[in-house]
Each structure stands twice: as structure tokens, then as C-alpha cells.
Amino acid sequence: MQRVLTRDWGVKLGAIVLAAALWLHAVTERSYRRDLVVPLVIEEPVTAPGGVALVISSPVPSSAMIAVTGDGKELLRLSGDDFLLRVHLPPGPPGKRFTLRLDPTQVESQVESDVTVDVVLEPSQLSVILDHSEDRRVPIQPRIGLQLADSYTQVGPTEINADSVDITGPHSLLRQINVIYTDSLFRNDVRDDVDMELALEYPDGRLVQLRPNRVRVRINVQELAEYEILNVPVAVVNGPEGAVSEPSRVSVRVRGGADLIGKLDAENDIGLTVRFELARTDEGGLIDAPKGQLFEIRQVVPARATVVTR
């Protein structure tokens, strides 16, 4: 009895599968309509009368929606990338506005098929303004915000392999652009060096070309450390020949990135000085360190020095 039931269910299941296949075949053989989003490319005129280079100065969409018809099998195999809507702009003077109607004859098929393009649904027309092309160089501004982990520090400035970018585009837009920003880079609890590429942000509408369009950003991050460096020499500034500091060598406590301060050379990297005119008093003059160093001098012992003339 169980075998008979199993055989009956098998027959029924086979009938259902066959019916579904016949239905699908019949459906896909019929003609249908399908809407597709396709790339939109506007071919700019190279020059205007008189040899002026032209570009588009108004925002234009990068895609359009078209309606196509064909049998079901063909439509199932197609995607929007199989078509391209290409619009050719006629030449004209800078500032001229064109109103262009979009129609199926402007749609190019990238594959062989019997599908017909019926209509361009959206946009049905474009309003385009021309302007003369211009080149400028503007500075690059990084958008970077790093929150370093406790006991870590940034050593040196943020390095970018290009500090400016060449931009080409319509004159009316370029005169408004004073800086090009990088993509944002925000991180918390940073403990390692940053070395990565960031894309440059195009102004609204992407009506300009950027060269380069990416930059490399490097940030040196090191664990914070504090060391004492012995026998650091002190030089006399503005003194007569033979003037020497007393004491001539001191101890210095420095704070900064561990890799950096661990390699400091007492003779050449600290650069302590005392001014002759201040060090002639009994109290002596304060020992100074140069500004703009990549490390912090926390303490100099002793902090004052006098001058001895030999």
C-alpha cells in the first residue's frame, strides 16, 4: 500500500513540474515590457567657434530609465549595463543653454538581442549649460581626526604625498573652489602608524577632473616614553671667542615617542644653548632648547649656566 502511494505522489509531482515548465516556456515566449536604468553619457563638444575649449557647467544625471520590449527570455537575460544612452552636444558659445530631448535612437545596445527600446522614461529631456574649460591648482586639505590611545603620541606632522591638486573644469565653477578635501578618516584608540590612500572629494556634480584623484597619508604614531639623557653639551650664543658654558654639560629629561627619543644623540640632537649677555650675572642664564622639536624637554639639570671666558 505504501509503495502505491509513493508511486502516485511521484506521478503527481512529475505532472506539476511538467506543467510549471510548460507555463514558464509559454510565458517567456510572449512579448513583455521592462524598465531598465542605464548609464547616461554626454559627449561634450571639443571646441566652440574660435577654438575655445568647452565643458558642461550644469549638473547632469549619470543614468536614465528606459523602457524596452521583447520576449520574456530575452528580457530576463538583460540588465541596464547592456545599454548606453549617449547624447551628443552641438557646439556653441560659453554660457549657451541647450534643451535636449532624449529619445530611443540615442540608446546604444551593448549586446545582440531582438529587444526594442520603446521610450526614454526619465529624464525625458536635459537642460545643459556650456562654459569654457579652465585649469587651476588648489591646495589639498585632509579631513583627519585621530583619537590616540592612552600613552601614545603622534610624532611629527601629518604627511601627504601631494599638497595640491590640478583641477580642470568650467570656469564658473573653478573660480568658487579654493581647496579640495580628502575623504574623512576618523579613528579611535590609535596605537599604530597610519599609512593609507584617501580619495579626494569631487565638488558637487563631479563637473571637474582631479589630477591626482587620490593621495597617500602617513602619520607616525609611537608609544609615549620619558628618558634621561646625560652629558648633553651647552653652547654659548653671542659670546666672544673662547667663551664656554659653566657647566658645559647637563642632564636632560625628554618625553616623546619611544622610537624617536631612544635614538637621540646627546652631542647632536638636543641643541641646548645659553645666551652670553644673560649668563654673565651671578645667577647665570637659563639654558634654552630650540623650538619645533619632535620631542618635549621636560627638565634640564642644572637649569642655569654662567659663562667662562678663556
- Residue 32's pLDDT is what? 84
* 5 in a structural domain: no
What is the average pLDDT value for the chain, to the nearest integer? 86
Taking alpha carbons only, the member of 128, 113, 166 closest to residue 41 is 128
Residue 204 lies in a domain: yes
Domain count, the chain: 3
Domain termination site, one of 73, 101, 123:
123
What is the rounded distance in angstroms from the CA atom of residue 104 to the CA atom of residue 304?
87
Rounded to two decimals, what is the model's pTM?
A: 0.66
CB 171 within 8 A of CB 134: yes
Asked if the structure places residue 2 within a domain, the reply is: no
Do 79 and 111 share a structural domain?
yes
Measured distance between the N- and C-terminal CA atoms of the chain, rounded to whole angstroms: 124
Q: What is the predicted pLDDT for the residue at 234?
A: 96
Out of 223, 254, 279, a domain closes at 223
pLDDT of residue 96: 83
Domain that holds residue 238: 225-309
H or E, element range at 126: strand 125-148
Q: Tell me which of 159, 188, 223 is where a domain ends.
A: 223
Strand 180-190 with 125-148, pairing: parallel
Q: Please give the average pLDDT of every successive group of 10 residues along the chain, which has 310 residues.
A: 51 54 49 89 74 82 91 83 90 83 92 87 90 92 93 94 94 91 94 95 83 95 95 93 92 95 94 90 87 92 90
Pair type for strands 243-246 and 107-109:
unpaired
Question: Are residues 258 and 300 located together in one domain of the fold?
Answer: yes
Question: What confidence tens digit (pLDDT) does each residue in 173-212 have?
Answer: 898 999 999 999 999 999 999 999 999 998 876 788 999 9
- For residue 13, how many other CB atoms are within 10 A of its CB? 10
Using alpha carbons, select from 92, 95, 93, 89 the residue that is nearest to residue 126: 89
